[in-house]
Amino acid sequence: MAQARRRQIDRTTETQTLLLRAAAELLQEVGFSGTTTALIARRAGVTTGALHHHFATKDDLMLGVLDRMTERVLHRIEQQDHVTPDGRIDVPSLVAHLWEIYGDPGYWAIWEIIIGTRADAAFHGKVVAHRQETMRRVLPSWLERHVLSEARRPDLAALFEFLLIAIRGLSLERFLDKEAAYFDRNLALLAELVDRKLANLAGGT
């Protein structure tokens, strides 16, 4: 009986993963309004009945996509430490790594959900709350690994949050089909500005 239950759990997890992956792909390809439950079910290779068995509504499925994407982002952020041999934060390396995460077309699914739900005040509120909670999880994780001084944490938390805001904002320029050199130039400028501010904080200026 226990083995049968495990198999059922495995099948449930597999089906949910297929549905979440299909939804994320369609959000990138056809946008929020075009991502219907029928299309998601077809892409995942299941019936719409099976979809609604796992996710009662499209809203539930979209929150599932946000959950899945959040865990992926957190995992990727925690994969690397960006510290030089002398203990300083390696800003160019950090900027490049964050761009790999937030500049990835896979992150577009999150933007589609945020923008596409604006007309639904109730659900959009849930989406915004989800993103705020994600930020509350990202900041402490990064600070604990990179900032040993408690006194410096508030300033560095604000600087890291600014860095995330700038990189996520720059990622929207991908919708305008900008060339790679455009992103390289602006990422280099961002790294230079943040590195300079970091040096000022370290020097107490």
For position 15, which CATH number holds? 1.10.10.60
pLDDT, tens only, 137-191: 877 777 776 665 677 778 888 888 899 999 999 999 988 888 999 999 999 999 9
Domain boundary among 20, 41, 56: 56
Number of domains in the chain: 2
Query: Residue-wise pLDDT tens for the chain (205 aa)?
Result: 555 556 655 688 899 999 999 999 999 999 999 999 999 999 999 999 999 999 999 999 999 999 999 998 888 877 766 666 666 788 898 899 999 999 988 899 999 999 999 999 999 999 999 999 988 887 777 777 666 567 777 888 888 889 999 999 999 998 888 899 999 999 999 999 999 998 887 765 4
Query: Which one-letter amino acid corresponds to residue 188?
Result: A
Residue 107 and residue 153 in one domain: yes
Each residue of 79-104: b (16+ CB within 10 Å) or e? Answer: eeebeeeeeebbbeebbbbbbebbbe
Residue 25 and residue 119 in one domain: no
pLDDT of residue 120: 95
Return phi, psi of residue 57, to 5°: -135, 165
Residue 144 and residue 43 in one domain: no
Residue 169 and residue 97 in one domain: yes
Residue 89 and residue 155 in one domain: yes
pLDDT of residue 84: 67
Residue 162 and residue 76 in one domain: yes
Residue 46 and residue 62 in one domain: no
Could you tell me the residue range of the domain that residue 191 belongs to?
57-203
Q: Is 83 helix (H, G, I), strand (E, B) or coil?
A: strand
What is this structure's pTM?
0.83
Residue 110 and residue 121 in one domain: yes
For position 167, which CATH number holds? 1.10.357
**Cα R_g (the chain), whole angstroms:** 20
